[in-house]
Amino acid sequence: MNASGEARHGPGGTPPADLELDCRGMRCPLPVIRLANNIGDVAVGQSLAVVAEDPAARSDVPAWCRMREQEYVGEGVAEDGVPRYVVRRLR
Residue-by-residue pLDDT tens, the chain, 91 positions? 333 333 445 666 667 999 999 999 999 999 999 999 999 999 999 999 999 999 999 999 999 999 999 999 999 999 999 999 999 999 9
Q: What pLDDT, on the 0 to 100 scale, is given for residue 79?
A: 93
Name which of 50, 53, 48, 49 is nearest 26 in CA terms: 53
Provide the CATH number for the domain formed by 15-88 in this structure: 3.30.110.40
Q: What pLDDT, on the 0 to 100 scale, is given for residue 11?
A: 60
Q: Domain coordinates of the chain in residue numbers?
A: 15-88
State the CB neighbour count (10 A cutoff) for residue 53.
Answer: 16
For the annotated catalytic residues, the residue numbers are 28
| Strand segments (E) across 1-91 | 19-22, 47-51, 71-77, 83-88
